[in-house]
Amino acid sequence: MQVIVQHDKNTAVISISGDVDLYSSPEMRKAITQLSKKKVPLIVVNLKDVDYMDSSGVATLVEGLQLTGKYKGCFRIACLKPTVWEVFELARLDRVFEIYETEEKALKVSPL
């Protein structure tokens, strides 16, 4: 798995590639935790190059939602592949997250 973070004061995009599982999710967690410590108002996790995610990845994203929620930040997910989307559905979390088709949309839409 690879994690690439691009951010300025107001927005951050975390781009993940590879499998997100028990072995690799701590790295994604680190990126999310660091950005939420800085209270970045909008964090987008781009999963376009992720073919596989297990419950440890999902739990990490749930944690991201909670961490950003504490400072009223926005936490969004973009570009779910069908296999990853299915995990969200199986976990019934597809309606808990703000999920966008593209990174652009995730960045543009104003906070709910």
Where along the sequence are the contacts to another protein (CB under 8 A)?
19, 21-23, 52, 54-56, 58-59, 62-63, 65-66, 82-83, 86-87, 90-96
Min. distance of Cβ 83 from another protein in angstroms? 5
Question: Quick one: which of 28, 29, 27, 36 has its CA closest to 7?
Answer: 36
Gap between the Cα atoms of 71 and 83, Å rounded:
31
Q: Contact at 8 Å (CB) between 45 and 32?
A: yes
Min. distance of Cβ 21 from another protein in angstroms? 5
Indicate the residue among 73 and 103 with the shorter CB distance to another protein.
Answer: 73
Indicate the residue among 40 and 87 with the shorter CB distance to another protein.
Answer: 87
| DSSP designation for 110 | P
